[in-house]
Amino acid sequence: MSTLKLKSKKLVAALMTTGVLGGVGVAAVPLLQTPAYAQPVAAAVTLPNFSAITAQYGPAVVNISVNGTRKMSMHSDDGDDDADEDESGASAQRELPPGMQEFFRRFGLPPGAFGIPGPGSRMQRMPVRGQGSGFIVSPDGLILTNAHVVRGADEVVVKLTDRREFKAKVLGQDGKTDVAVLKIDAHNLPTVPLGDSGALTVGEWVLAIGSPFGFENSVTAGVVSAKGRSLPDEGMVPFIQTDVAVNPGNSGGPLLNARGQVVGINAQIYSRTGGYQGVSFAIPIELALHVKDEIVAHGKVDHAKLGVAVQEVNQAFADSFKLPRPEGALVSVVEPDSPAERAGLKSGDVIQRVNGRPIVASGDLPALIGMAKPGEHVTIEVWRQGKAAQLTAQLGSASGKTARMASAGGTSKGKLGLAMRPLQPQEKQQTRIASGLVVEQVSGAAARAGVQPGDVVVSINGQPVQGVDQVRDIVAKAGKSVALLIQRDGQQLFVPVRIG
């Protein structure tokens, strides 16, 4: 053992003398270089102390049980064919399709199984139960959760980690953001610190605590997958996407960062099975706190409204409107007598910034407007006819109606592949369009883009359509694509048509 140590010391001394490990004589022998492919790309990452976060802040996470009633189909055995009426006054009795009748018969199921009305069935109110999660934000018993957790509940019970139970009062719930505020009669309760979801970075560790399937205070961890996600019919919320395991019962529970601060409320999952498949979504805590403050102060939330329908800007639209990059919110509809119309916004404008904040995806706009207050003035930067412009709008109140996200699908016959004719006077009256061209035949580029016979072309590249010759001129001067604003079934949307 001593011999080995001695040899090692001699080797180190020899290496220092020749300069391999430093010292004099560095020029005599070149330093050994690590191959580029073997060099580390980043410093070692230390995992968060999940157990410490859970021990310190887990007691502020609660289990929520709800009891209520829901109308369900019940089979009538007494021969009484009178069906109960639903809230609209219409008869609730429905005949099952033949295929479903055979399904129930083959498996020996009653006609009202799974709440599906069958012959001789009627609707009755039946008790339903549900569970979710929440977290305490003030020592006097203020709790945040999801609106869908407590929607329609007759009784809400909150259970703490120390097994105490309290009946909770629903102070308010906001369906547009899916946030609800509860209050329990208790004091000196543990709370969770609130963080900044804007400071989150993709790839950062996050932690969820909740009650999946009723298993109270379950802990799961993962990373932030993306920020600012827009989901169908949830345009007001810029969701945080994670790969944290979230399942039924986790709804309303906190999403915490590596410092134990709440950055979101776990709300939804994307799944083909109904269970966790690696994609979950959380409501940013700033939005939830905005809703909480409004509910505590006024008992409800009054969201701001601009009054536009917008859609995504893809590369074809960017080419059509001569945008430097495919970013922004393309205005497809401006509601009459709305704040947007009064501000001068027009169909075909691309909204790029609001109060200096960039609008990259179309979902950024309703999320940003939703955080503002009715009556607030906002500065809107738009791209119009190849130039930047600035407008000022005074926001109105959403009052139950919000901007919709339009979906992009996609004249004489030519590059476009459209055969069109002018609107007749009675058609102008029916469609309430002052000018436009009716599509009679579709082929080529327009057909591939999704244009259909019967569509009315209202504008091309933001220019109102007056006649066929004008359309020819616009298309002749266009680049790789054109953006058609069409009206179909009373709805307007932009369709990009590639002609290059």
C-alpha–C-alpha distance, residues 212 and 217, integer Å: 9
Residue 477: which H helix or E strand, with range? helix 468-477
SS3 170: strand
Which single residue is written with the structure tokens 């208790």?
186
Contact 48, 207 (CB under 8 A): yes
Contact 454, 466 (CB under 8 A): no
β strands within 270-398, DSSP E: 280-284, 304-305, 308-312, 329-334, 350-354, 357-358, 377-384, 387-394, 396-397
DSSP category for residue 46 = P
Backbone angles phi, psi at 457, to 5 degrees: -80, 115
C-alpha–C-alpha distance, residues 150 and 324, integer Å: 46
DSSP category for residue 423 = P
C-alpha–C-alpha distance, residues 55 and 44, integer Å: 26
Parallel, antiparallel, or unpaired: how do β-strands 463-464 and 239-242 relate?
unpaired
Parallel, antiparallel, or unpaired: how do β-strands 304-305 and 308-312 relate?
unpaired
C-alpha–C-alpha distance, residues 170 and 175, integer Å: 13
Q: Active-site residue numbers?
A: 148, 178, 251
Contact 174, 147 (CB under 8 A): yes
C-alpha–C-alpha distance, residues 214 and 64, integer Å: 9
